[in-house]
Amino acid sequence: MRTLLPLLLLLPALPARAADEPARDPMAWPPALRSAVAAAQAASAGGAEAPDNAIRQVVFSNGRGYVVVRGRRYGVGEQLDGARIERVTEQAVWLRESGRLRREPLYGGVEKRPPPTAPAQAASGTKNSKEKP
């Protein structure tokens, strides 16, 4: 009874302390994140974003290469956003714009290379293999 009495006296003070603090909305973003998002939105509102015109897909049909942009198929010789398609390969598309030829890679930083040449086999004609005969 002696330990229960002080706890009962402190019990009414707990809800009063919680009522003094404003209720936090569990769906609201934290203040640090809110300020970062607001700054990003202000920066993007100041300058218009360039549309994403990157070539992402090519299709080959009957030996001809086509560029697929926004759901439409463009072949060699057709105009794509003011540039004429000159060549289509598995790795890149060549476009001629204002008399200049430029290469648009499909996969930035990735290049297709031929496989390395195999080293010459031993003079005896045996294979260098770990397989058992």
| Amino acid symbol at 22 | P
What is the rounded (10 degree) CA torsion for 88, 89, 91, 96?
-30
For residues 92 and 105, the answer to whether their CB atoms sit within 8 Å is yes
Q: Show me where the domains of the chain are located.
A: 57-105
**Of 70, 92, 66, 65, whose CA–CA distance to 81 is shortest?**
70
Give me 91's structure tokens.
Answer: 């790795």
For residues 68 and 55, the answer to whether their CB atoms sit within 8 Å is no
Give me 78's structure tokens.
Answer: 């057709």
pLDDT at 49: 44
Q: Could you tell me the pTM of the whole model?
A: 0.46
* pLDDT per position as a tens digit, 50-105: 455 678 889 999 989 999 998 899 999 999 888 999 999 988 999 999 999 999 88
| CA distance linking residue 32 with residue 34, whole number of Å | 5
